[in-house]
Structure formats: structure tokens, C-alpha cells
Structure 1
Amino acid sequence: MLEPCEGKLSRTVLRGESGSNTADLLDQLIENKQKFISQIMTSKAPVRSCEDVDEAALSYAEVKALATGNPAVKEKMALDVDVAKLKLLKANHMNNQYRLEDDIARNFPQQIAKLTEIIDSYKADIAHYSEHKITDTEQFAMEIGCKVFTEKKEAGAALLAVCKDIKSVDAAMDIGNYQGFNMRIQFDGWSKEFILSVKHEAVSKVHLGADALGNITRINNLLDSYPEKLSEAQQRLETVYEQLANAKEEVGKSFPKEEELNQKLERLSELNALLNMDEREDAEAEVSESDEKEERPARGSIHEKLQIYKEKSQRESETGKETRKRDFGLE
């Protein structure tokens, strides 16, 4: 009873033709394709696009050449993988070039303008805060709803009362002033929290809690953090300037492996032409063999040959009788 081979037939047949060398070439083909597929399916390489890599599939002529141990086939398989990888790297390089051009022309200038505006606002707010900051703890004053509170606990309670009166979600409401900054409260429907904003030039926000005195402390900490926020914005601006300078250095650079790609493409074209030539020669040989079969007389049994000879003799005999009748004037 024959056992199912499940994919082993092709390798077995090829081993019969050219031994283990052919099986090694098949293994090499699978290995090369798998290496390339793995690079695409993982995050090891910055892949943005991919061309069809099934060009490494063998044609009929290549299969026959592989069965006979043609070294050109193995070289073509390796070149197919290398060329596909190089094309992918070149596409990635071009995409990076387009991104750099867009960053230089639009993204970086927008970031620089925005950060510059933020820095100027923080500088103005720091100077304004220094003029209106309460340095004497006994001189506390916070205006809420047109009423000035001089006690922190009362001011904190008034803030909580305002929060309870807010009916609309995400609707901001102006509530008063504190140390020269306008205050506004809104309820964030996403976080389910009340957010207080302070504004002079820049806008800064802080989440309010349920503790009356704790909310006053949070507002003071927010205003005291302006110098730190200014420093962070300045550092971000320096980083953007560095990125802009690096982008200007990288933009316009050619693909570093362009020469290697061109050389392999040229060699691959030569191999493709060679394999196509072999295919045409095989096709012509098959046509020639078919013509010879048509011209070659059929080979049958002895009985068939005798029948053919008998029919031929009968036709010649009848032809002779008709000729003699014409000679004697019987027709």
C-alpha cells in the first residue's frame, strides 16, 4: 500500500535527477525568501512600503535548469532577494527624503513659531506674577463671583460651591481673579473632574479636588511652576532647531547603495536573458521533434504492413487495367 507523500514528491523526483545538490538549491530558495519575509513582518527594519517579492518564483525553464544543476538559477534566486531588499531600502530612503523636505518647509517652522509664542507668554506671565504675588500670608485675597475673600478656607469653599452650580459638561465659566490672573472653571466629561484655568498671556490648568484648602495650594503651585514651564519650552525649542539643522544636512543625499543596486539589476537582466534563451532553445527542440514525428512513417504490426502492401498492389493493378483499355481503344 502506497503512503501519501504530502509535498515530498517534487524533492524525491529532483533528487533522482541530480542528487542532493538540487534539494540544497530548493532549501536555499526557501531560506532566502523566509529571511526577507521575516524582515518585513517584524519591526527590526523601518519598513514603510514593500514591493511584490514573488518574483523569485521559478519559471518552467528555471525548474528544468534547477533539475540539471544549472548554477545560473541559484545565482538568480540570490539576486532576486538582494534586489528586492535593495529596492525596499531605496523606497524607504526616498520616503525619508520627502519627510525631511516637508519638515524643513512646514513642520519645523510651525513648531518654532508656536514654541516662541509660548516662551514669550511665559516670560510675560512670570513678570506679571512677580508684580502681583502675595508675599505676606496675612494679605491673602481671592475674588470669586464679584466677592473678595481674605481667608483661604472661605475662598476654597466658594470654589467648591461654584463647581456645584456648573450644570453643563465642558462649558467654561469665568469665576474671578487671583494674584493678577483670571480664573475659569469647567467640568471635564471625560475625566469627570473640575478643571481650573488661570490666564494672563498663557493659559495653564490644574485639576481641582474636594479639599477646600488643598485647591488653593494647587493654584499657588501652578503659578510657582511657570519658571520651570518656561525652561521646558526653551529646551524643546533648542531640540527643534537641532532637528532642523540635522534635516538640512540629510536632505538631498542620494541612496547610499545605488551603485550596488544598479550592478545587481544589470546582472539579473543578464541571467534572465540567459534563462529565456534556454527556454526558447528547448521550445525549438520540441517543435523540431514534433515535425520529425509527423514525417516519420507509422510503425505498426506485420498484419498492418501486409494490408497496406495489398491495398497498394490493388491500386496499381487497377491503374494498369485502365491504361491497357485506353491503349486498345476499349474506352
Structure 2
Amino acid sequence: LARQEMPNADMMLLGTYRGFELNIRFDSFKNEHQAVLRAELSYPVSLGDDARGNITRLDNAIDNFADRIADAENALQNLEQQKQAAEIEVAKPFAQEEELAEKSARLAELNALLNIDRDRSSSQDAPKETEKTESPAPRPSVLAALEEKVNQSEPVKPFRSYYDKDGDAR
């Protein structure tokens, strides 16, 4: 009866049922009316046309709380076991710790060797007045090479037919 007299889709308080606050709402996503049992959490129950069927649905939802609690306790126990196993794994020493230390030391040596040339060039950045500094060779210009290629005429190649297997023009 409350479902038929509902003015809009908002939740409406009906009263209490077996210690739970009982609300009614219209779920536009599922396109159905639902009774909502509320305590610490909300438990929606689909409503039908039969009043006795709706009461049976509400009773079944309340009776299923024991199963929900057992499932939640099992999930919590499983998570606790996983947490303990993870704590044991974290406490174990790293198996390749020595190898990591050796390779890290070798990497530091190689980096130092690679940086020697950079350190020498930076210390020699200021040339001495008595020494004659050589200018580095200029890098070839890509643009100049392209312009040179455009200005050159290519030799005309003789026509090669499909039948010329050895590349000779006939």
C-alpha cells in the first residue's frame, strides 16, 4: 500500500520491523520498489505485488544475516592469515643481497670511470695563455650537403628492361 502511495523516488520511513528501521524507496536503475532494512548498514529487499510474499522476503533477508556474518568472518580470517604470511616473508633476508651489493659497487666503479673524462675536460675548460688551443674540427653541415646534392646533376642511366638479367642495356 505504501508502495502505491509513494509520492516520489525518495526514501520514505515506514516504521520498524523485527528491530530494524524499515524504509521504502524506488530504485530507478532496477526499475523496482525496495524495502530497506536499516541498522548499522542498509539491506535492500525487492518488493513484489503480494503482501505475504514481501513479508517472506523481509524475513529471509533477516535470516540470511547469519550467513553473511559467517562469510565476513571467514574473509577476515583469510585476510589475517595472508597478513601473517606477508609479515613472515618480509622478515626473511633478501636472498640476492650479496649479489646486489657486488653489482652496485661495480656500477659505482664504472660510473666513476665514465665520469673521469668529463672531470678532466671540465678542469681544462679554462685554457692557459701559454698553450695554443686547437679548435675542434667543425661538424659537417647537413644542410650544405643537401644543397650540394641538389645542385649536382645525376648522370642519366640507360633504360633497363625486364629482360636484362645481368644489368646490361641492350
1:277 has 2:113 as partner: no
Evaluate the alpha carbon distance shift between residue 188 and residue 254 of structure 1 in structure 2; reply closer, same or farther with a 3 A threshold: farther
| TM-score w.r.t. length of structure 2 | 0.52
- Contact 1:169/1:186 (<8 A) preserved: no
Deviation at 1:173, TM superposition (A): 0.4
1:173 has 2:4 as partner: no
1:186 to 24, 38, 56: 24
Deviation at 1:187, TM superposition (A): 1.5
Q: How does 1:106-121 map to 2 (within 5 A)?
A: none
1:225 to 64, 71, 93: 64
Evaluate the alpha carbon distance shift between residue 274 and residue 233 of structure 1 in structure 2; reply closer, same or farther with a 3 A threshold: closer
Q: How does 1:35-114 map to 2 (within 5 A)?
A: none
CA displacement 1:74-104 (0-9 Å, x = unmatched): xxxxxxxxxxxxxxxxxxxxxxxxxxxxxxx
Q: 2-side partners of 1:232 and 1:210: how far apart?
A: 31
Q: 2-side partners of 1:188 and 1:271: how far apart?
A: 70
**Map of 1:76 onto structure 2:** none
> Is the radius of gyration larger for structure 1 or structure 2?
1
**Map of 2:83 onto structure 1:** 244
Gaps of 5+ in 2: 135-170
Evaluate the alpha carbon distance shift between residue 277 and residue 200 of structure 1 in structure 2; reply closer, same or farther with a 3 A threshold: closer
Q: Which has the higher contact order (CA 8 A, sep 6+)?
A: 1
Q: 1-side partners of 2:40 and 2:102: how far apart?
A: 61
- Judging by fraction of residues, say which structure has more helix: 1
Q: 1-side partners of 2:77 and 2:106: how far apart?
A: 48
**Map of 1:309 onto structure 2:** none
SS of corresponding position for 1:291: coil
Q: 1-side partners of 2:65 and 2:132: how far apart?
A: 97
Evaluate the alpha carbon distance shift between residue 193 and residue 269 of structure 1 in structure 2; reply closer, same or farther with a 3 A threshold: same
Q: 2-side partners of 1:217 and 1:224: how far apart?
A: 10
Gaps of 5+ in 1: 1-160, 295-331
User: Aligned partner of 2:36: which letter?
Assistant: S
Evaluate the alpha carbon distance shift between residue 216 and residue 189 of structure 1 in structure 2; reply closer, same or farther with a 3 A threshold: closer
Evaluate the alpha carbon distance shift between residue 213 and residue 253 of structure 1 in structure 2; reply closer, same or farther with a 3 A threshold: same
**Map of 1:196 onto structure 2:** 35
Q: Percent of pairs identical after alignment?
A: 31
User: Aligned partner of 1:162: which letter?
Assistant: A
CA-based RMSD of the aligned residues comes to 3.9
- Contact 1:185/1:194 (<8 A) preserved: no
| TM-score w.r.t. length of structure 1 | 0.30
User: Aligned partner of 1:174: which letter?
Assistant: L
1:259 to 98, 102, 112: 98
Evaluate the alpha carbon distance shift between residue 206 and residue 293 of structure 1 in structure 2; reply closer, same or farther with a 3 A threshold: closer
- Judging by fraction of residues, say which structure has more strand: 2
